[in-house]
Structure 1
Amino acid sequence: MRTIAGRLVRDVERKLGTMVDGYRNELDLYKRVLAQKKKDKNKVYSLHEVDVQCISKGKEHKLYEFGNKVSITRTGSGVIVGALSFRNEFDGHTLDKAIEQVEKLTERKPRNGICDRGYRGRSKVRDTLIHIPKSFSKALSTYRKNKERKYFRKRAGIEPVIGHLKEDHRLSCNYYKGITGDEINVMLAAAGFNFKRMMNKWKSSFWLFLEKIIVFLNRQLHPIRGGEILQTREKWAF
């Protein structure tokens, strides 16, 4: 296949003649793909998106994924306050930029950050303490152990958030071009998640307000008589 593709590229280059300069970038890309070896670095995995990375997952059912890394930061209440796109850096090296973004957006310095074991090696970034799941020391008190477990349970809560970002807000498939497109897609997905969360809260508040109006109207239409409250039940198909 490599031999056939090489012949086609050379044939196209020869037949283009004087127009070859207009297609120089495409031809150079094809030659780069044909020349790359199995163990080369910075390989091209996609002709239409040359910035795609091969990311090792370390899972038996999914050894590799193709795309780029994304860092998501959320508060304990579930609001996303940080979303950044990276190439294929070590997870621990992304903490500085992630915390910097959180400080810029919230104008506050986070005191604690809970991460998974992929971030091991960093115990403090800027003014933020990094907590990573690990075996407890026997010297720790029961109170401290319970507090650490509570931190780690909160961290696990970001997994369904990432799932919703992928399935509901198009984080799993990016249609924007280049590295800049990756960054735009991540920010739009995070913004969409926060907007949807806010609208759901508004919706619940609206139904509560509507229920109060219905109760008020019922009291006006069916006033209390002889010390007895007349109860009416209305069924609403919401």
Structure 2
Amino acid sequence: ETTRVLISGQRRGITPALAKLLKRRSAIEPEIGHMKSDGRLTRCPLKGRIGDAIFAVLCACGHNIRKILAHLRAFWAFVIRFILGIIVVVNRPLQMQGAA
């Protein structure tokens, strides 16, 4: 079995299927870099190839959950600002009448 090293800037000998795989790899590599820099994807404590695969999948699941929580945090902040804005607008005429 021979191993080919694929370089993303290389154009010669690239089939459409291979180009699609390289494009997918380019999309995944930044996510792996974020997992490594966040300190979650460290040295694998599990044994063997299966342990490596399980560890990678668990790290990816944790990363996805953190991304979902960040989106939910932003969404709820928007909802709370919206509701508080409505409360302020509704209470404003009442304050004006009390002052007059």
Indicate the TM-score class for this superposition, using the shorter chain for normalisation.
Answer: 0.5 to 0.7
Cα offsets for 1:79-119 (capped at 9, x unmatched): xxxxxxxxxx5455xxxxxxxxxxxxxxxxxxxxxx7248x
Cα offsets for 1:200-223 (capped at 9, x unmatched): 111110000000111011112212
Alignment of 1:202 onto 2:72: yes
Partner of 1:130: 19
Structure 1 Cα separation of the partners of residues 5 and 53 of structure 2: 17
Cα pair 1:174 1:182 within 8 Å, conserved: yes
Report SS of the residue matched to 1:176: coil
1:123 CA displacement: 1.4
Partner of 1:116: 8
Partner of 2:57: 187
| Structure 1 gap ranges (5+) | 1-88, 93-114, 134-150, 226-238
How many equivalent pairs are there?
A: 90
TM-score (ref. length: structure 1): 0.32
Report SS of the residue matched to 2:93: coil
Structure with higher helix content: 2
Structure 2 Cα separation of the partners of residues 175 and 132 of structure 1: 29
Identity %: 27
Q: Of the two, which has the highest radius of gyration? A: 1
Structure with higher strand content: 1
Structure 1 Cα separation of the partners of residues 47 and 85 of structure 2: 54
Structure 1 Cα separation of the partners of residues 74 and 54 of structure 2: 30
Q: Which amino acid aligns with 1:116?
A: S
Structure 2 Cα separation of the partners of residues 121 and 170 of structure 1: 37
TM-score (ref. length: structure 2): 0.67
Cα pair 1:169 1:189 within 8 Å, conserved: no
RMSD across aligned positions (CA) = 3.3
Partner of 1:173: 43
Cα pair 1:117 1:132 within 8 Å, conserved: no
Q: Which amino acid aligns with 2:84?
A: I
